[in-house]
């Protein structure tokens, strides 16, 4: 259906002002472009983000080595192309070419293939029966590695369970506005800030923050007439020192952490808790899953790093019951899809996700739609966040 003719690599800006890579793939009948995001609270088990010399070296390797390997290959051979990227890299974790270069290339190839068939990306990936769209998870208040002076818990999210994506997106944005109003009331005269993902940040305690966001979700629920729930991303690896979880007001053992989260989940009717325990605290994960896994989604982000192998380990142990899916944690679309399918085959829910450093690339909206992901975590407001949300609204209209 068309051999790849040219591949271009360029350095572009991300939402934090850092450099990232954008890739263009040109084939006989199509064109595809994609860019890579980047994390701040990255997991230790993610593939390498960049070549040893950083973005510039990845771009150079792309131009000098990757492009020539791809030219002449049929753009529809996604799996073969993804294998070729891994073979060309040869390190097993993209340490030579960079996982971000690999993922942008992989997604640009998929986009080019879709374009050559005259299909939107979600329809190329998911086929004719795409119907279930992911529920938006919108970060409205936070701290951690994303904001100076905020909560220890990285993200407090609103998850609107509306009848349509469009209504849900607006309900989450309403919660974001209400959180601002409530914070202004609580801290009169103080300046409020925003973190990397557009969530508010304030000198508020972890439990008070849950209370405030749960209240704002309740206001949205009353206004819109459908459920709007609180969700957390603790990003607990950032708090873990190998022995305990360090909060501003003291330390918690793994067992304390499980109790703390179980209590929060019950008090605030929390829909999901992501990374409640650290990336290698498997015992803690199993304990939390036994404790509240039947009523709360427990989402592994740093725990699984979108790796089928780590997910398989979690399934075996009974750790978590859901997985956050970030394509650049694993480096190619094929490996991302392998992870999503493994999760679904084993009753784990999937939440496709942005990173804290983003571009306006909207591929995750298409991936979430194509594979029937339960949720999409991509912020509530902000240009690089609404790029995905608005694309999902367009996809919904098309369907």
Please choose, out of 17-25, 40-48, 105-113, 241-249, the segment that lies near ligand PGA by the rule CB under 6 A. 40-48
Is the Cβ of residue 61 or residue 264 nearer to ligand PGA in the bound state?
264
Partner from ligand PGA, Zn ion, none contacting 356, C-beta within 5 to 8 A by type? ligand PGA
What span, in angstroms and rounded, lies between the C-alpha atoms of 301 and 275? 6
Q: What angle do CA 51, 87, 341 make, to 5 degrees?
A: 95
Contacts of 366 (CB under 8 A, 6+ apart): 120, 121, 122, 125, 391, 395
355 binds ligand PGA (CB under 6 A): yes
Strands (E) in the chain, as ranges, are 4-13, 19-27, 30-35, 135-142, 155-160, 193-194, 200-201, 228-233, 245-247, 250-252, 272-274, 297-300, 322-325, 349-353, 375-377
Is the Cβ of residue 178 or residue 301 nearer to Zn ion in the bound state?
301
Is the Cβ of residue 70 or residue 303 nearer to ligand PGA in the bound state?
303
Q: Cα 230 vs. chain centroid, distance in angstroms?
A: 17
Please choose, out of 132-140, 186-194, 266-274, 332-340, the segment that lies near Zn ion by the rule CB under 5 A. 266-274
Whether 211 is a known active-site residue: answer no
42 binds ligand PGA (CB under 6 A): yes
Please choose, out of 12-20, 39-47, 74-82, 182-190, the segment that lies near ligand PGA by the rule CB under 6 A. 39-47
Indicate which residue of 155, 166, 178, 197 is catalytic. Answer: 197
Helices 308-317 and 282-292, axial angle in degrees (round to 10): 60
196 binds Zn ion (CB under 5 A): no
Whether 388 is a known active-site residue: answer no
Contacts 24+ apart (CB under 8 A), 88-95: 91/48, 93/47, 93/48, 93/331, 94/47, 94/48, 94/331, 95/47, 95/48, 95/51, 95/52
Indicate which residue of 96, 194, 252, 326 is catalytic. Answer: 326
152 binds Zn ion (CB under 5 A): no
What span, in angstroms and rounded, lies between the C-alpha atoms of 131 and 149? 42
233 binds ligand PGA (CB under 6 A): yes
Residues 295-334 that bind ligand PGA (CB under 6 A): 301
- Minimum CB separation of residue 160 from Zn ion in Å reads 20
- Minimum CB separation of residue 216 from ligand PGA in Å reads 21
| Chain contacts with ligand PGA (rule: CB under 6 A) | 39-42, 233, 235, 301, 353, 355-356
Active site residues: 197, 326
């Amino acid at each position: 259906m068309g051999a790849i003719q040219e591949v271009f690599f360029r350095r572009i800006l991300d939402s934090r002002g850092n450099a990232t890579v954008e890739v263009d793939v040109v084939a006989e009948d199509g064109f595809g472009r994609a860019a890579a995001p980047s994390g701040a609270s990255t997991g230790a088990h993610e593939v390498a983000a960049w070549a040893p010399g950083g973005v510039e070296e990845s771009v150079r390797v792309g131009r000098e080595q990757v492009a020539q390997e791809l030219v002449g290959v049929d753009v529809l051979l996604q799996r073969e192309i993804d294998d070729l990227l891994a073979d060309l890299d040869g390190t097993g974790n993209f340490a030579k070419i960079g996982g971000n270069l690999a993922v942008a290339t992989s997604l640009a190839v998929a986009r080019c293939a879709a374009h050559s068939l005259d299909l939107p990306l979600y329809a190329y990936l998911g086929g004719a029966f795409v119907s279930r769209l992911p529920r938006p998870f919108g970060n409205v208040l936070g701290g951690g590695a994303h904001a100076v002076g905020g909560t220890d818990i990285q993200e407090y999210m609103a998850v609107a369970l509306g009848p349509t994506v469009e209504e849900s997106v607006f309900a989450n944005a309403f919660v974001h506005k209400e959180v601002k109003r409530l914070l202004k009331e609580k801290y009169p005269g103080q300046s409020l800030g925003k973190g990397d993902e557009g969530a508010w940040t304030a000198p508020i305690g972890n439990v008070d923050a849950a209370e405030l966001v749960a209240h704002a979700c309740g206001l949205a629920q009353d206004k819109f007439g459908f459920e709007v729930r609180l969700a957390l991303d603790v990003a607990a690896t950032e708090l873990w020192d190998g022995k305990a979880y360090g909060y501003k007001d003291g330390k918690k053992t793994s067992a304390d952490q499980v109790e703390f989260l179980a209590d929060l989940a019950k008090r605030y009717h929390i829909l999901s808790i992501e990374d409640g325990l650290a990336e290698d605290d498997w015992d803690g994960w199993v304990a939390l899953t036994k404790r509240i896994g039947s009523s709360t989604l427990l989402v592994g982000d740093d725990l699984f790093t979108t790796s089928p192998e780590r997910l398989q380990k979690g399934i075996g142990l009974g750790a978590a019951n859901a997985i956050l899916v970030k394509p650049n944690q694993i480096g190619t679309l094929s490996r991302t899809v392998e992870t999503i399918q493994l999760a679904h085959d084993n009753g784990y829910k999937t939440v496709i996700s942005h990173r804290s450093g983003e571009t306006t690339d909207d591929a995750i909206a298409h991936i979430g739609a194509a594979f029937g992901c339960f949720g999409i975590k991509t912020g509530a407001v902000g240009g690089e966040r609404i790029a995905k949300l608005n694309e999902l609204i367009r996809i919904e209209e098309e369907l």
